Amino acid sequence: MSIPIQDTMAAIRKFAPSFNAKIAMILGSGFGALAEQLTSSITIPYQAIPGLQSSGVAGHASLLVMGYLNDIPVICLKGRLHIYEGVPYESLRTFVRMVKQLGAETLIVTAAAGSLRPEVGPGELMVINDHINFHPGNPLVGPNDESIGPRFVSLENAYDEGLREDLFAVGERLNIPLYEGVYISVLGPSFETPAEIRAFRTLGADVVGMSVVPEVIIARHCGLKVAGITAISNLAVGLSPEKVTHDMTLQYAEVATRKLIKIVPEFVKGIARGF
């Protein structure tokens, strides 16, 4: 049964009647520590919010955290919803649109991903500049609500060029190297085959993961500006003799999180003041 966004927001407003955010962040596998930087925070479990559900994946705590980062009101979605868990696109739409309803204008999407470039190894950070959608569908399929966004939304600048430039400026200032590339999104939950990785490299992908793209499509449809950052958790299968596992994903996401914890507060500060 469809849950009206008004019901979702009414539940959130019981906990935070006047909170109004500027920036929202989706925290992927291993990135939950970023939410711990917020002050004066309010935390709501996903299961207490109509239209959402908890993730069953390790590294995803399923908490909506609202608070302040350098005195800037920020929303952290601590753990994401995955289509491979059987989550319907309807829940994913609610997941993203509620942050717009809470006032956010910018969405920062983080995720762990496998690198298709041998020179960009585990623990590195890559800024997403474009994507290829290999999910079996599009979250905007179905009737369109013109009050939310247009029937046909452009994804030409899905990962905002200005925000990407700002991220690189912050990385340079902090002496933290940032790479840049195209994210290809697959359904999962199985990891990719060596043949698929060879095909993805031919298509022009630089990293591969099981999320991000549906969230970004929904975000752009409702007018949110998007920045995407991936933590390289492994070299994709066929590019390294090391076996790809989810434990490895969490291990190297933790390494990358130490870098993100330095970058994100400065990036958020810059967004709030317009750099």
pTM of the model: 0.94
Strand partners of residue 46: none
Please state whether 123 falls in left (phi above 0), alpha (psi between -120 and 50) or beta. Answer: left
Distance CA 61, CA 79 (A): 5
Instruction: Return the pLDDT at 71.
Output: 93
Q: What is the pLDDT of residues 160-202, one digit of tens each?
A: 999 999 999 999 999 999 999 999 999 999 999 999 999 999 9
CATH number of 253's domain:
3.40.50.1580
Distance CA 132, CA 136 (A): 12
Instruction: Return the pLDDT at 249.
Output: 67
Distance CA 73, CA 250 (A): 28
Confidence band, pLDDT 50/70/90 cuts, at residue 124 = very high
Q: What is the pLDDT of residues 202-243, one digit of tens each?
A: 999 999 999 999 999 999 999 999 999 999 988 998 887 677
* Residues annotated catalytic, as ranges: 29, 60, 82, 84-85, 112, 210-211, 234, 246
Instruction: Return the pLDDT at 250.
Output: 72
Would strands 39-45 and 106-115 be described as parallel, antiparallel, or unpaired?
A: unpaired
Distance CA 188, CA 84 (A): 6
DSSP-derived 3-state class of residue 57: coil
Q: Residue 125, exposed/middle/buried by CB under 10 A (0-12, 13-18, 19+)?
A: buried
Distance CA 244, CA 257 (A): 19
Instruction: Return the pLDDT at 60.
Output: 52
Q: Longest C-alpha distance within the chain, in Å?
A: 52
Section 235-253 average pLDDT: 76
Query: Distance between alpha carbon 185 and the CA centroid of its chain, in Å?
Result: 12
Confidence band, pLDDT 50/70/90 cuts, at residue 256 = confident
Q: What is the pLDDT of residues 7-59, one digit of tens each?
A: 999 999 999 999 999 999 999 877 788 898 999 999 999 999 999 987 655 54
Question: Above 90 in pLDDT, residue 248?
Answer: no
Written as six digits, the tokens of 249 are 């994903």
Q: What is the pLDDT of residues 84-109, one digit of tens each?
A: 999 999 999 999 999 999 999 999 99
Number of separate domains in the chain: 1
Instruction: Return the pLDDT at 8.
Output: 96
Distance CA 212, CA 228 (A): 8
Domain coverage including residue 37 = 5-273
Written as six digits, the tokens of 228 are 């995407």
Confidence band, pLDDT 50/70/90 cuts, at residue 275 = low
Section 129-147 average pLDDT: 95
Q: Which helix (H) or strand (E) holds 114?
A: strand 106-115
Question: Above 90 in pLDDT, residue 261?
Answer: no
**pLDDT higher for 115 or 3?**
115
Distance CA 23, CA 88 (A): 25
